[in-house]
Amino acid sequence: MNPFTDNTAESVASIGETALIERVREWLGPCVPPSPEGMGDDCAVTEPKANLITCDSLIYGKHFDKDCLPELAGEKLLKRNVSDIAAMGGLPANAVVAMFLPATTSLAWVEGFCKGLSRAAERFSARIVGGDIAESEAPFIAATLTLTGRARKPLLRGTAKAGDVLFVSGPLGCSIDGHHLTFEPRVEQGMFLSFLPEVSSCMDLSDGLGKDLPSLCGAKLAASLNIDELPPSAETLANADGDPEAILRHILCDGEDYELAFTVSAEAADSFEESWNDRFGAPPFRIGTIVARDGDGPQLLDAATGKALEYKGYEHLRQA
């Protein structure tokens, strides 16, 4: 949906900030608790148990466009944050949302966006307890959401050991052809992992395996990948048309898969696979092993040849 309108009577400018905030509260519906736990005071009063906090944004022209339903954009903003909480083995708790809207933004677009946000918040048991609306210059629409969460035993990056087995929770690549809007944050999987002592590290894949795995490994380790075991998404298979090089590139370089990548101690890897299978009805994808890094050598290796895999994921702000 085109978020802008030439008809002032249908735009956010027709009602102004104060009335818009009231509408937003209405559209967000039951995920907004009453004051003082929700909107209405200078701050929201929250329970003291949250031990996770994360923040992610959605920008028009970058993460969604005019062909995207505003409901899906709203859902995506919440789900991106939920995915980060899931990666730490947590459950979502409270969110604040800041919106940057030009005066020509249509009310119908903001309504759809809020309803999508609300739908996702209800599904993942997050409460929207406050936020901010600021005026921006067209065509800059953006929203930033900050989400807290609770994890009994947070999973971290950089805590794997050489010899650990590397897994991913689902197929990868070509999210731009569909699942960047419809993905499911792996909350149950993250919780499941966080209670198992054999799980040594975890993260969610937002920028592609090629960029994300080095940060899962930390500076002293590298990931040795079994290329044949890397799981392509249906979109990747359709796009690559049987070209193995294209499949590999999509799997390693495409962002926004929002699957989990995690490591498990080698002794426990087989029994872990069974218990994951019992819990989720399908095995996880075992894609390689964690090895010691050779000095400041490559952090992504082909297990079959021992050679570096020269693929990088998506890095923001990098032009060359």
Which residues form the interface with Mg ion (CB under 5 A)? 84, 204, 206
Could you tell me the smallest distance in angstroms from the CB atom of residue 190 to Mg ion?
A: 11
Could you tell me the smallest distance in angstroms from the CB atom of residue 54 to Mg ion?
A: 8
The two beta strands, 221-225 and 300-302, are: parallel
Q: Which bin fits 218, alpha (ψ -120 to 50), beta or left (φ > 0)?
A: left
When the beta carbons of 169 and 206 are compared against Mg ion, the nearer one is 206
Tokens of 8: 């002032």
Could you tell me the smallest distance in angstroms from the CB atom of residue 56 to Mg ion?
A: 8
At residue 29, φ and ψ (nearest 5 deg) are: 65, -135
How many other CB atoms are there within 10 angstroms of residue 318's CB atom? 8
CA atoms within 13 A on the CB side of 223: 33
When the beta carbons of 12 and 205 are compared against Mg ion, the nearer one is 205
Could you tell me the smallest distance in angstroms from the CB atom of residue 82 to Mg ion?
A: 11
Could you tell me the smallest distance in angstroms from the CB atom of residue 317 to Mg ion?
A: 17
Please check whether residue 251 is in contact with residue 302, taking contact to mean a CB–CB distance below 8 angstroms: no
CA atoms within 13 A on the CB side of 284: 28
Please check whether residue 166 is in contact with residue 202, taking contact to mean a CB–CB distance below 8 angstroms: no
Tokens of 203: 């993260």
